[in-house]
Amino acid sequence: MNKSDEEFYKELLNDFREEGAEHLQTIVNGLLDVEKDRKSGDKEMLETIFRETHSLKGAARALDLKNIESLCMAMESIMHKIKDGELEFSPGFFDGFFEATDILEVLLNEIGSTKQSVAENRITKITSKLKNLEQGKSTVKKPHRKKITSSKKESGPPAQEKTSHPEKEEPIKKEPETEHSSDEPKSTPDKAAQQQSESIRVSLDKLNEILYSAEELITSKAFLKFQVQQIDGLSREVTRLKRQIQDWMHGDSEEGKASVKKTSFTESLNKLDSDLAHSTRQLEELQRVNNRNVDDLNFKVRKAMMQPFSSMLSVIPRIVRDLSKEHEKEIELSMEGEHIEIDRRILEQMKDPLIHLIRNSIDHGIETTEERKKAGKNTKGHLTIKVSHEAGQKIGVTIQDDGKGLDHQNIINAAIKNKAVSQSEAGALTESQINQLIFASGVSTSPIITDVSGRGLGMAIVAEKINHLGGKILVDTTPKKGTTFRIELPQTLATFSGILVEASGQRFLLPTTSVFKAVKVSKQEIKPVESKNTFRFLNETISLVTLADVLGLRKSKNFQNKQLQVMIVETTSKTGFVVDKVLGEYEGMVKPLGRQLKHVNKMEGACFLGDGSVVPVLQVEELMEAARGVSSGSPQAQSVTADGEQKKVLYAEDSITVRNMVRSHIEAAGFEVSTAVDGQAAYELLQKEAFDLVVSDIEMPRMNGFELTSKIKKDNALSHLPVILVTSLDSKADRDRGLESGANAYIVKSSFEKSNLIDTIKRLI
């Protein structure tokens, strides 16, 4: 294949990836629709699924994509028999088809990439399973299932969560951006995903509008060229007058000087003044026209970048289905406003936060069927997602559940433990402020820490992403009634707007979207609370720091002034930053710092001002963290006690290799470590020596980790000890058993990293 053919083939693959994703969206959405009412079996929808599968198979065959072709062929055969009445829906039908669509999604995403996540034997297994379904070899008995209903039909791409199956099979390595844990949303697209994100469909009408606006700039271009020529002529006239003045100053006679002055200077200066005034008026008009044209073009380009929310919300029904099965809950989903458009870049950035909030509502908000019965509720939980237009070119997104609501006391306890607030500050918090604490980094009400949950990072990252996009998120909750997340987003990614301030003689830009208010605060208003300066504003106590101190600049003298200039910055909470001066508002483009300065914190980038100077743009989330005295997402626990002694950790593990490796990791973090060969030996050692924490494997002789944890928690002398279970057992049942035994943390060895274990130890001690 020559170079030209290779390029053409790559174009075909790119087209197929996009076309295939659309086919797959329709297939998955159709399956969800049919699953809701399998008895009647919508013949029109069955025909749609069959047709889309057939089209996908044909396109894959044309490009010699064997794996996609074989999977589609197996699915098509089953659909053909169901359509003709030769085969009825079986209990394994939907699980088998959804598993196949999961694999198809990965295969489509990886087209053109060297990365191959799905092994050949995985294709063989699912194809074999589908053939068994076709031959009627699936289990006849209908298992107990939770039915998912949706208020309307949704068109959607394949699911983001993997369906659980009764038999143990090799897991699919899904793309990082489609995986989501119960605690931390992720967004790390691979090469294939990056290639896919480089293209976007734009209607011809929108392109014509952009072209028309661009052509308008051609007129301005010609007009500007004429003005440059005019100004050049005026410059030459100034040079001529300058020479005349020099000749006049060095003239031989007073009579000659007077003559030159009378005949030339007055007339020339008057004409020059008139021409300059005329050119100024023309340039001002050109500026107005250009501003209008640039704004118009900018608006139309942004409009072309918009996509409806349906392109993202289409994945939600499948996610809700899978999570409902996983947690054995009944969920009724309704969605509104999917047609509303927003900047595609915002939509992409909001995918992970939205999925995390939905997972949070299902996992932690909506109760189980039994819990809802006891509470006198409908056994079905309700989850509503609504998109709406808001004032000022804003878009609102509401995620509402009818679950048990937030537990304020648990949130306060977790926040105090994590030092997000002090004991005295907690007592003065309003309900709204308590709700917002769930977005503070490190705050988690989960009863157990796992490798993916309980670290209190997920909601913090959600808030950070929304704030970074120029939006905000608020929480409203009613005990036993439910919780509502309200997100406000800009419809487009507008040009950066910042407040220019000065601190210690240096200028900085604070993003306007994060500045709540600029106020004057007198020294008499400042009150110390637990070694922190605070002031009251709108019936709220706000921490007060100097911007110079937070940025590590030379000591500021602001507090010596009678009146302080304070910028109140707001993310999930408010902090007042004392500055020397507020110099005004600025609009422009933020330029990244570059790879050489990637380790510089508290700085998002830099902007060029009108005078040509470069001013750093402050990274608000990092600035707020620094103001709170927190340098990372988890509290920095000490490995020594108050009297200077090392804190002691007991580690129980029957494998000598693993025992020595983990012990060295913990010791390297500054802890004193004792080891035990099994649970029985660990418990006996606990009777003799005092320890600050226990780390234990689960599968051990004589006494396993669950049993050891239970004995520790039931022993009055030891019940205060935190226990971390480090194990290879990764099922939900094992995690639940760890929680029941009283473990404080559950870390899976397959995802084990020493930083995660050390971070967990520091968090618990």
With both helix axes pointing from N to C terminus, report the angle between 120-134 and 66-83 in degrees, rounded to the nearest 10. 10
- How many residues does the structure list for the chain? 765
Confidence check: pLDDT of 165 > 50: no
pLDDT for residue 500: 92
Q: Kindly report the CATH class assigned to 328-490.
A: alpha beta
Confidence check: pLDDT of 195 > 60: no
For the chain, give me the number of helices (H) and strands (E)? 24, 25
Distance between start and end Cα atoms, the chain = 63
Q: Lowest mean pLDDT: which of 62-76, 199-213, 602-616, 736-750? A: 199-213
Confidence check: pLDDT of 737 > 90: no
Q: Kindly report the CATH class assigned to 648-764.
A: alpha beta
Distances 495 to 302, 498, 517 between C-alpha atoms, Å: 11, 10, 21
| pLDDT digit string, tens, across residues 30-52 | 888 888 776 545 677 888 888 88
| pLDDT digit string, tens, across residues 527-542 | 877 667 889 998 888 8
Distances 332 to 308, 321, 362, 367, 734 between C-alpha atoms, Å: 23, 9, 11, 13, 28
Confidence label for 663 from pLDDT (cuts 50, 70 and 90): confident
Amino acid type, 464 = E
pLDDT for residue 741: 86
Q: What is the largest CA-CA distance in the chain?
A: 122
Distances 160 to 28, 322, 325, 364, 566 between C-alpha atoms, Å: 11, 9, 14, 19, 45
- The count of other CB atoms within 10 Å of the CB of residue 378 is 12
* % of the chain residues with pLDDT over 70: 78
pLDDT for residue 561: 64
Residues near 467 by beta carbon (within 8 Å), at least 6 away in sequence: 513, 514, 571, 572, 620, 621
Among 315, 309, 465, which residue's Cα sits nearest to residue 386?
A: 309
- The count of other CB atoms within 10 Å of the CB of residue 392 is 7
pLDDT for residue 292: 80
Mean pLDDT along residues 83-95: 76
Q: Lowest mean pLDDT: which of 97-101, 252-256, 590-594? A: 252-256
Confidence check: pLDDT of 249 > 80: no
Q: Lowest mean pLDDT: which of 346-350, 562-566, 753-757? A: 753-757
Mean pLDDT along residues 470-496: 87
Q: For residue 486, with 0-12 CB atoms within 10 Å meaning exposed, 13-18 middle and 19 or more buried, which class applies?
A: middle
What is the residue-averaged pLDDT of the chain?
Answer: 78
Tell me how far apart the alpha carbons of residues 331 and 149 are, in angstroms, rounded to a whole number.
7
Q: Lowest mean pLDDT: which of 51-55, 328-332, 443-447? A: 443-447
Q: Kindly report the CATH class assigned to 496-627.
A: mainly beta
* % of the chain residues with pLDDT over 90: 17
| pLDDT digit string, tens, across residues 676-706 | 999 999 999 999 999 999 999 888 889 999 9
Confidence label for 16 from pLDDT (cuts 50, 70 and 90): confident
C-alpha torsion 105→110→115→117, nearest 10: 10
Tell me how far apart the alpha carbons of residues 120 and 131 are, in angstroms, rounded to a whole number.
17
| pLDDT digit string, tens, across residues 701-730 | 899 999 999 999 999 999 889 999 887 766
Radius of gyration of the chain measured on its C-alpha atoms: 33
From the options 2.130.10.10, 3.40.50.620, 1.10.1300.10, 1.20.120.160, give the CATH code of 3-145.
1.20.120.160
Confidence label for 62 from pLDDT (cuts 50, 70 and 90): confident
| Strand, coil or helix: 718 | coil
For residues 229 and 184, the model is more confident at: 229
Domain boundaries, the chain: 3-145, 204-305, 328-490, 496-627, 648-764
